[in-house]
């Protein structure tokens, strides 16, 4: 399933972070939607030239984040992906922060191969009380006959703490059993902050037959240790100029990283 979906063993999925979309507080009205598309197009070119295995569109620029997608941001994201997908030569996925139903809808409409989101649990978060609806998201996937669309369940949300005291391994195992997760993602506390390898190992040990990916903070210094445990990784911040989440992709950083991954795999 991993190679079929992402095109490689131990895949590296690179983020295409959209700048703030219309309706978001930091949206650049002067630059407009075309500036957003141009920014993403430059990142796509650098990531593909650097040799990443897959890419994923995300609306990281839409701070503060919504728990339910707004019509204008979701529509703009769909339009931009439609304009950009013709230039994509690798598998791609989508993620609307932080709405799993909107993310699945976006994946269906855009022809994505995979979707990432928080699908399960209840959280005390920067965005308020956070209770995603996995059942609605999976029913949407089934109703639209897109069971091939793989769902990546992030089980320890950034910018949030789970309500309750179930350990991470129990939450991961439960997400697969009760909510049909295709892939489990393990994150650090914030975007760009490293996942704990101890947590990765706990999750992988209880889910030997389910892909488990590192979702945040993977870099050229820790990737060897991460990929000894994880089945793949999602990378955004490390590929940016100076390792700054909000800057453009640095093609040289991407190539150096992928050259190292090539020696590891």
For the residues of 41-93, what is the DSSP string, one character each?
Answer: HHHHHHHHHHT-SEEEEE-TTSPSPPSS--HHHHHHHHHHHHHHGGG--S-EE
Res. 148: pLDDT tops 90: yes
How much is the pLDDT for 193?
Answer: 83
How much is the pLDDT for 192?
Answer: 80
How much is the pLDDT for 191?
Answer: 81
Residue 89 in tokens: 């030569």
**Across the chain, what does the average pLDDT equal?**
97
Neighbouring-strand partners of residue 117: 153
How much is the pLDDT for 116?
Answer: 98
Question: What strand order describes the sheet that includes 128-130?
Answer: 128-130, 123-125, 160-162
Give φ, ψ of 125 to 5 degrees: -125, 170
What's the predicted TM-score (pTM) here? 0.97
Least Cα distance to 116 among 130, 131, 102 occurs for 102
Tell me the pLDDT tens digit for each residue of 176-232. 999 999 999 999 877 888 888 999 999 999 999 999 999 999 999 999 999 999 999
pLDDT confidence tier of residue 263, bands split at 50, 70 and 90: very high
Tell me the pLDDT tens digit for each residue of 106-128. 999 999 999 999 999 999 999 99
Length of the chain: 265
24 Cα distance to chain centroid:
20
How much is the pLDDT for 72?
Answer: 98
């Amino acid at each position: 399933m991993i190679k079929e979906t992402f095109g490689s063993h131990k895949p590296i999925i690179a983020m295409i972070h959209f700048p703030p979309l219309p309706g978001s507080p930091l949206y650049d009205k002067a630059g407009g939607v075309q500036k957003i598309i141009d920014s993403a197009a430059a990142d796509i070119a650098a990531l593909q030239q650097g040799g990443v295995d897959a890419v994923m569109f995300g609306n990281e620029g839409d701070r503060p984040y919504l728990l339910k997608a707004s019509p204008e941001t979701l529509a703009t994201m769909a339009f931009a992906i439609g304009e950009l997908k013709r230039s994509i030569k690798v598998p791609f996925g989508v993620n609307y922060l932080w709405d799993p139903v909107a993310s699945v809808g976006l994946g269906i409409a855009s022809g994505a191969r995979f979707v990432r989101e928080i699908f399960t649990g209840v959280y005390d978060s920067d965005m308020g009380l956070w209770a995603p609806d996995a059942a609605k998201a999976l029913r949407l996937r089934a109703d639209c006959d897109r069971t091939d669309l793989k769902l990546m369940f992030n089980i320890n949300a950034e910018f949030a703490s789970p309500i309750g005291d179930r350990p991470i391994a129990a939450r991961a195992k439960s997400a697969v059993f009760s909510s049909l997760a295709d892939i489990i993602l393990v994150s650090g506390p914030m975007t760009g902050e490293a996942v704990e390898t101890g947590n990765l190992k706990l999750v992988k040990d209880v889910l030997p037959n389910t892909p488990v990916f590192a979702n945040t903070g993977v870099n050229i210094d820790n990737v060897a240790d991460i990929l000894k445990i994880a089945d793949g990784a999602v990378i955004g911040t490390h590929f940016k100029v100076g390792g700054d989440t909000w800057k453009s992709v640095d093609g040289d950083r991407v190539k150096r990283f992928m050259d190292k991954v090539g020696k590891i795999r």
